Structure 1
Amino acid sequence: MKTWQNEIPFNKDNPITEILFSESSVFFDIETTGFSAKHTHVYLIGCAARKGNVVCTTQFFAENPSEEKLILNAFSALLTHYNTLITFNGIGFDIPYLQERFQHYKLLDPFCNFQYLDIFKSLSKYKNILKLENLKQKTIEHFLGLQREDMYSGGELINVYDSYVNSPSEDALNLLRLHNYEDVTGMIDLLPILSYVQLFEGNFEVTGFEKCSYEEYEGSHALELHLNLNTTFPLPKRFSFGFQDIYLTGFQNQVKLKVKIYQGELKYFYSNYKDYYYLPEEDMAVHKSVAFYVDKNYRTRAKAATCYSKKTGCFLPQYAEIFEPYFKLEYHDKVLYFEMTEDFTDSPEAQKKYSLHLLKYLLNAKL
């Protein structure tokens, strides 16, 4: 078994990195000879831990399959010094794979009682938002503008390892070591991408808003509400995303959230329609206590779709029952609207609540 150790400076350019990568956490990544833990084995485990302003890396390498148990024991001993594991798809692959290998050798499972941060899993909903082709580590590195020397994938290096086992060489060893080393240290540099996750989880403040007019495609004039957000953690790369009447842009600590304002008439639907009558001439519903005084020829029992009153004004869309009362264009419409009153424009709390609602809607948008 070979063990390699190295030290590099800790980069604290983004505050989220310092918060998430504490001295009680450890990154790790594994290299295996295949996906099935029953029929393949792990040959390299790389780790990175922090001591003050220094990142200490440790890699355990099995020079042949018979040394797999040695690197598992060495890795297990290292984990005893930490309480948080940080991985890239570790929950989906690395940890289950290693658990099966530990069981194969009848070794104690070392993964009990840990907290977990899986970068891949944390980003699982953000592929469309960030316009990523996929969620592979190298794709995210490219998005962040990170460079690496290693040009191989883990799968491509299986044959390199097999060749090394049969005929050890420094060239093969360096390729195997470099790939794992850059996977591990590269995860540290990926942490700033979680600033986008923090934004969508509500780590921002609304610093202002404005009504802006714009010209639509057909030439008519419309209004937008622009909400200015200040993020807790800076966004490392500029991004933009739009869906329906909502558009989002952001970079560093500044984010702008735009949403179209509906101007005109909307309907408020009463829930207890059996207590109302519909007046076709007036196109509105009135309570039966009032309808009693209306000629029977000018009234009809209300249905759910005709039990409404109407209001004209400026309204904002919402996609769940966030603010009340809410209005609709028609009864079966799924988009709800609330009136843009002073209760909203004078309340930073209401503006943040609405901003978070829109962000959640964008995150779950079906493109």
Structure 2
Amino acid sequence: MITIQHPVSFSADYPLKRLGPADNLLFFDIETTGFSPASSSLYLIGCIFYDSSAACWTLIQWFSDSPEAEPECLEAFFSMTREKTVLVHFNGDTFDLPYLAGRARHYGIPFDLSHTESIDIFRRIRPCRKLLGMDSMKLSAVEQFLGISREDRYTGGQLIQVYTDYLTSQSPARLHLLLLHNEDDLKGMAAILPVLSYPDMLRDGGTFSESRLLSPEETESFGESPVLQMDFTGSWHLPVPLSHTVSGAKLSFRDSSIRCLIPLYRGCLKYFFPDYENYYYLPAEDMAVHKSVGAYVAKSARKKATARTCYTKKEGLFIPQPKRIWEPEFREEYGSPVSYAAWTPELLSDPEKASDYLKLLLEQI
């Protein structure tokens, strides 16, 4: 086994403390001769970690310079995970970690990763696929989304041939090529970390800052409906501005802010009383009244209310809400999926409820 270790420049435009303490982080990537641990072998494991004694980020690579050296590489990696317990990778939950486990079992090497935390960048951003507008979530697609230009001269299949040639020739040039490719992949992991700001944003939401009621003239794309503008700020920072429409609302994401444009409903909606057994429905007035009041109405002018007819009506402006945040709730008809709250500026006097409203919208992305 050949071990290479030296300091590297490793800076990320993303707060690493969101992943864990720097001393615990271990960024890693593996190189193999195939996809199945049953019919291929591991020839390189590369890691970047923070060396607190030297106060710098350090690259370490374990290279299998012969087929017999593979178990040493595995043992060296598992030994490091006893101290570095936060494993950061791209698609490692699906490939790298199961592959390492399979090769360890092949050699009868004991290992235990139950004490580690696995942070798979691919898995974290996958729920954001619709928001990011990406057809593919491959590493190259993520780099393209972030505007990262990285020329990868060799495919995985070509590198397998380079490794095969190395085993025969022991060529330093081929070794350098294999090590450099792995190092570039690891450094590239730091470059794509800002993409994690999108799942951070969807999870954390934002803090309500201000609102404004816009006239139809200011928002032509919404037709004649008045539009409520709500602004939020967050502790995350998005590398690429985006916009998305959900439940009729337009959300714009930029830097550390979210702007929501929510078309309000103007018209007549119904509030349905929950205890309809205690109400009469008055067909002429198209409304329900409590039995204590309905007792004074002629029997011919009243009916026992049902869940569908036990309502009172209200005219005005209403804000749609995917789930109940503000009360009372109004609906177009009984059982309508969307509920509304009567709009008044005081509705947003509680900033926590405004932030809860944003989270409901983000959950639908």
Q: Name the amino acid aligned to 1:76.
A: F
- Structure 1 distance, partners of 2:133, 2:124, is 16
**8 A contact 1:247–1:257 mirrored in 2:** yes
- Is residue 38 of structure 1 aligned with residue 38 of structure 2? yes
Match of 1:123 in 2: 125
Correspondence 1:27 to 2:27: yes
How many angstroms does 1:148 deviate by?
Answer: 2.0
Q: Distance in 1 between matches of 2:94 and 2:325?
A: 35
Deviation at 1:351, TM superposition (A): 1.4
Partner residue, 1:102: 104
CA shift in 2, pair 1:161/1:12, >3 Å: closer
| 1:149 match | 151
Whether the 8 Å CA contact 2:205–2:355 is kept in 1: the answer is no
Question: CA separation of 1:102/1:277 partners in 2, compared to 1, >3 Å: closer, same or farther?
Answer: same
Q: 2:272 aligns with which of 269, 284, 295?
A: 269
Residues 282 and 219 of structure 1: CA distance in aligned 2, closer, same or farther (over 3 Å): same
2:298 to 279, 295, 299: 295
Q: Deviations over 1:67-114 (max 9, x none)?
A: 211110121222233121111122222112211211221112141311
Change in 2 beyond 3 A, CA 1:348/1:145: same
Distance in 2 between residues matched to 1:297 and 1:163, nearest whole Å: 97
**What is the CA–CA distance in structure 1 between the aligned matches of 2:325 and 2:132, rounded to whole Å?**
26
Letter in 2 for 1:301: K
TM-score (norm. length: structure 1):
0.90
TM-score with structure 2 setting the length: 0.90
CA shift at 1:300, angstroms?
A: 2.2
What RMSD in Å do the two structures reach over aligned CA positions? 2.4
Q: Does 1:250 align with 2:259?
A: no
Shift of 1:203: 5.2
Q: Structure 1: which 5+ residue stretches go unaligned?
A: none
Paired with 1:155 and 1:339, the residues of 2 have a C-alpha distance of: 62
Instruction: Give the Cα–Cα distance (whole angstroms) in 2 for the partners of residues 177 and 214 of structure 1.
Output: 60
Q: CA deviation at 1:45?
A: 1.0
Residue identity matched to 2:229: H
- Contact 1:214 1:224 (8 Å CA) reproduced: yes
List runs of 5+ in structure 2 lacking aligned partners.
none
Question: Which residue of structure 1 aligns with residue 318 of structure 2?
Answer: 315
Question: Separation in 2 of the partners of 1:229 and 1:330?
Answer: 32
Residues 223 and 65 of structure 1: is their aligned pair in 2 closer, same or farther, counting only changes over 3 Å?
farther
How far is the alpha carbon of 1:19 from its aligned partner? 4.3
Residue 141 of structure 2 aligns to a residue whose secondary structure is: helix
Report 1:196-207 matches (<5 A): 196-202=198-204, 204-207=206-209
Q: Bigger shift: 158-167 or 316-325? A: 158-167
What SS is found at the alignment partner of 1:320? coil
Q: CA deviation at 1:169?
A: 4.1
> How far, CA to CA, are the matches of 1:88 and 1:176 in structure 2?
19
Q: What amino acid is the match of 2:358?
A: S
SS at match of 1:334: coil
Q: Is the 8 A contact 1:24 1:81 kept in 2?
A: yes
AA partner of residue 66 (structure 1): E
1:157-209 CA distance string (max 9 Å, x none): 33443344345545543443333222222112222111122222225322211
Q: Output the amino acid matched with 1:136.
A: K
Cα deviation digits, residues 247-283 of structure 1 (max 9, x gap): 1112212221222111221111122223322222111
Counterparts in 2 of 1:320 and 1:32: CA distance versus 1, 3 Å: same
Alignment partner, residue 335 of structure 1: 338
